A = this chain, B = another copy of it.
């Protein structure tokens, strides 16, 4: 306990986000085909975990809703582990009212198998068609339910990055979006670095060079803090 408090004391570099409730989602989700198989995506969760870590260092009360990842849990962060898009939605909705800031860095599955099986599917046929249905769009749902929360999304794209990012910012009623091209070296999945551009609803655009995900997290939280201050004016 004492060690833990001391650690926190020495970790903290600033109180910029003191008493702020920050809800962060991270990682992929997994959507079951049967008890053995699933659909997922290449998100490692590193970006979201870095944001959680940096936000805790800035004094925020951080809740991290995380899909399956191989990363160890950051200190001073409340962790809620989920697997599917539906579980992530439910976990986020339960925490949404008390949140001042929501940063949705998870790569939630857009589609899930429509008819998941209870038993392991046997490989009898040469071909197979898996019928998929859309999952609930968590970010869109949060945008619609927004009261006073500052809502931050991510756009991990492979083409027309700016177009998609700006479209998403508007359509989903976000305050800010962080965009990257996952095909760019150093900005892809699983790496410890990222190259992002931040867009906000006041038409500000901030292009960041290659940096570590923790550095990206810091920059992003500085901009969050700026938007929070603008809101209060």
User: What is the bound-complex CA distance between A156 and B111, given in angstroms?
Assistant: 26
Q: A132-B127, A133-B126 are in contact. Are A159 and B36 (CB under 8 A)?
A: no
| In the complex, chain B residues whose CB is within 8 Å of the CB of A74 | none
What is the 8 Å Cβ interface bit string for chain A, positions 36-67, against chain B (1 contact, 0 not)? 11111110000000000000000000000000
Judging by beta carbons under 8 Å apart, are A110 and B123 in contact?
yes
A233 within 8 A of B: no
User: What is the bound-complex CA distance between A107 and B36, given in angstroms?
Assistant: 9
| In the complex, chain B residues whose CB is within 8 Å of the CB of A128 | 111, 131-133
Interface residues in A119-135 (C-beta closer than 8 Å to B): 119-120, 123, 126-134
Judging by beta carbons under 8 Å apart, are B120 and A158 in contact?
yes
Partner of A156 from B36, B70, B114, B131 at Cβ < 8 Å: B36
Nearest Cβ in chain B — how far from A32, in angstroms?
9
User: What is the bound-complex CA distance between A180 and B33, given in angstroms?
Assistant: 20
Partner of A123 from B107, B123, B134, B156 at Cβ < 8 Å: B134
Judging by beta carbons under 8 Å apart, are A120 and B157 in contact?
yes
A206 within 8 A of B: no
A93 within 8 A of B: no
Nearest Cβ in chain B — how far from A191, in angstroms?
14
What residues of chain A have their CB less than 8 Å away from a CB belonging to chain B?
33-42, 70, 107, 109-111, 114, 118-120, 123, 126-134, 156-159, 182-183, 189
Chain A to chain B contacts (Cβ below 8 Å), 6 pairs: A36-B182, A36-B189, A37-B109, A39-B39, A39-B40, A127-B133
